[in-house]
Amino acid sequence: MDREDLTPAAGSPAKPSGSFGRLSSGFLAVSLLSGAALVPHYDPAAALSSLESIASGIPLGAFLRGLHAWSSYGLLLALVVHAVEVARKRTEGQLAAGVWWRAVALLPLLVLALLGGFVLRGDAEARAAADVWRGMTSSIPGAGPPLAALLLGGPGSGLGAAALHHAGTFSILLVILTVEHARVVWPGTRPSVLAALASVGAAGLLTVPLGPPPPGHGVLLGPWPLLGLQGMLVDLPAAAGWIVPLAGVLLLGSLRGAAGPARTAALAALAALAAGWAAFTLRILVLAGH
Amino acid sequence: MSSRRDFLGEVWRWTGAALSVLGLGVVWKSLAAKGESREVDLPSDLVQRLSGDGGQGIAVGPLFLTGTPSAPKALSLECTHLGCRVAPLPSGAFACPCHGSRFDSEGRATSGPARRPLARAVLEKRGDRWIARI
Ligand code: FES
């Protein structure tokens, strides 16, 4: 690693923030290990049937799938709380600019990985989620269609590209950027045990759905962290699907180096985005008849 | 010696420029490329099943067939909002499961975020087969 990257910015607080940062590393470890255990049994060419045979054909298969899903959701939750923690303690200045921006990139990368994981279910809801993802990405002017093809392959080309990016590209980038940011490979015993216990508890209590959605769903819901995005797409132009998350990432990134009214404005805009996200989450749940 | 280095420098510069132009060309071509039209082969037994009396149409892959066996019509089932597959309803209308758009039996958008009508496929008879182009 570049020596300069380890040098805290002048005037930044000396105490690192990060109990939830370490916890997210723990969740990442659980998610990667459970994902690696699933890979040999998953077939992108027969996604749904291979997941069904994981659930019923291999010992603890359904539990393992739940462990992978819940640890990944736990990772997202811990990462968001960590970002709030950093903003509150103003510790972003401890990182060099490049490392900070790459750490911020962890959030969209994780969301892409989660979306990819949902699409890999291969059932009707997953196919619809893939269509929405493709349509939304294609609405990016110029780069949209090639980017959609890069992430999901051509229309009707199967789940090969999504599987490759989920298990390969995104996972590798998440590991590299996490290690660069945390400066350790092993998150430590306590956060790892805590993340493992939380994931095991969730996987034991809550099943991850597969197959047709329960009757009465008027609209596609998709992965729960993205319900706000789904709600937004009902009322706002399709481009809002990438403009709003991009604005969130840029606002979070801009906290480093922002002081006084600029920082207050960035934080207020982030809070407004979060409130809008929550409102659109409610909107889609109501529309779906929940 | 120096002129040889100058020459090699020129070669590098021109090669770089040529590769950049080539790269830009490839990017431009991919961005300017129109969506390729697809052809769907319509099984003749399905076309023969069309009643033409306003009864139920038939879903064939990405298309919905209506009309008569001698003059079939085909609508694309791809939602014009973000591309989900719309579902035909018993009323003859179509509903999108993704964000709730609705289309009437002619494919016109009636509610929800979709604004454009469902695409109409161009049908062509080749021998005794019907081919739909979307
Ligand atoms: S894709 Fe059909 S309503 Fe959004």
Same domain, yes or no, for B123 and B72? yes
Same domain, yes or no, for B46 and B92? yes
Same domain, yes or no, for B56 and B119? yes
The conformation of residue B51, written as its DSSP 8-state character, comes to -
Q: pLDDT band for position A46 (50/70/90)?
A: very high
**Tally of domains in chain A:** 1
Q: pLDDT band for position A2 (50/70/90)?
A: very low
Same domain, yes or no, for B9 and B23? yes
Is residue A45 in some structural domain?
yes
Q: pLDDT band for position B13 (50/70/90)?
A: low
In this predicted structure, the answer to whether residue A16 has a pLDDT above a threshold of 50 is: no
Is residue A240 in some structural domain?
no
What are the φ and ψ backbone dihedral angles of A85, each rounded to 5 degrees? -60, -45
Same domain, yes or no, for B56 and B109? yes
**Tally of domains in chain B:** 2
Same domain, yes or no, for B73 and B123? yes
- Which residues of B fall within a CB distance of 8 Å from A135? 81-84
The conformation of residue B59, written as its DSSP 8-state character, comes to E
Return the pLDDT at A253: 95
Q: How far is CA B78 from CA A62, A144, A154, B81, in A?
A: 33, 19, 15, 9
Ligand 1 pocket at CB < 6 A: B 79, 81-84, 96, 98-99, 101, 112-114
Same domain, yes or no, for B67 and B126? yes
Is residue A60 in some structural domain?
yes
CATH classification of the domain holding A9: 1.20.810.10
> Of A132, A146, A217, which is closest to B84 when you measure between CB atoms?
A132
Q: Per-residue DSSP letters for chain A?
A: --GGGGSPPTT--SSPP-HHHHHHHHHHHHHHHHHHHHGGG--GGGHHHHHHHHHHHSTTHHHHHHHHHHHHHHHHHHHHHHHHHHHHHT-GGGS-HHHHHHHHTHHHHHHHHHHHHHHTT-SHHHHHHHHHHHHHHHTSTTTHHHHHHHHH-STT--SHHHHHIIIIIHHHHHHHHHHHHHS-SS--HHHHHHHHHHHHHHHHH-PPP-SSPPTT--S---SGGGHHHHHHHHHS-TTHHHHHHHHHHHHHHHTTT--HHHHHHHHHHHHHHHHHHHHHHHHHHHHTT-
Tell me the residue range of the domain where A203 lies: 3-212
Tell me the residue range of the domain where B77 lies: 39-133
Mean pLDDT on A245-260: 93
In this predicted structure, the answer to whether residue A13 has a pLDDT above a threshold of 50 is: no
Same domain, yes or no, for B32 and B45? no
In terms of Cα–Cα distance, which of A172, A279, A173 is closest to A229? A279
Percent of chain A with pLDDT over 70: 91
Residue of higher predicted confidence among B38 and A251? A251
Q: Which residue of B has its CA nearest to A135?
A: B82
Distance from the A4 Cα atom to the nearest Cα atom in chain B, whole angstroms: 32
- Which residues of A fall within a CB distance of 8 Å from B112? 234
Q: pLDDT band for position B31 (50/70/90)?
A: very low
Mean pLDDT on A9-24: 63
List CB contacts of A78: < 8 A, sequence separation 6 or more. Answer: A20, A21, A23, A24, A27, A195
Q: Which residue of A has its CA nearest to B62?
A: A156
Same domain, yes or no, for B53 and B85? yes
In this predicted structure, the answer to whether residue A111 has a pLDDT above a threshold of 60 is: yes
What are the φ and ψ backbone dihedral angles of B40, each rounded to 5 degrees? -120, 125
Asked which of A67-76, A160-169, A205-214, B104-113 is least confident by mean pLDDT, the reply is: A205-214
In this predicted structure, the answer to whether residue B33 has a pLDDT above a threshold of 80 is: no
Place of tokens 């998953």: A42
Distance from the B54 Cα atom to the nearest Cα atom in chain A, whole angstroms: 27
> Of B31, B33, B98, which is closest to A132 when you measure between CB atoms?
B98
Same domain, yes or no, for B104 and B60? yes
Query: Which atom of ligand 1 lies closest to the CA of A132?
Result: 1
In this predicted structure, the answer to whether residue B24 has a pLDDT above a threshold of 70 is: no
Q: Do B83 and A134 touch (CB under 8 A)?
A: yes
Q: Do A131 and B31 touch (CB under 8 A)?
A: no
pLDDT in tens, B70-102: 888 899 999 999 999 999 998 889 999 999 999
**Residue nearest atom 3 of ligand 1, based on CA coordinates:** B99
Rounded CA-CA distance B104/B111 in Å is: 9
What are the φ and ψ backbone dihedral angles of A153, each rounded to 5 degrees? 80, 175
> Of B82, B112, B113, which is closest to A131 when you measure between CB atoms?
B82
- Which residues of B fall within a CB distance of 8 Å from A230? 99
CATH classification of the domain holding B81: 2.102.10.10
Sign of torsion, CA A82 A87 A92 A98?
positive
What are the φ and ψ backbone dihedral angles of A10, each rounded to 5 degrees? -60, 140
Return the pLDDT at A8: 43
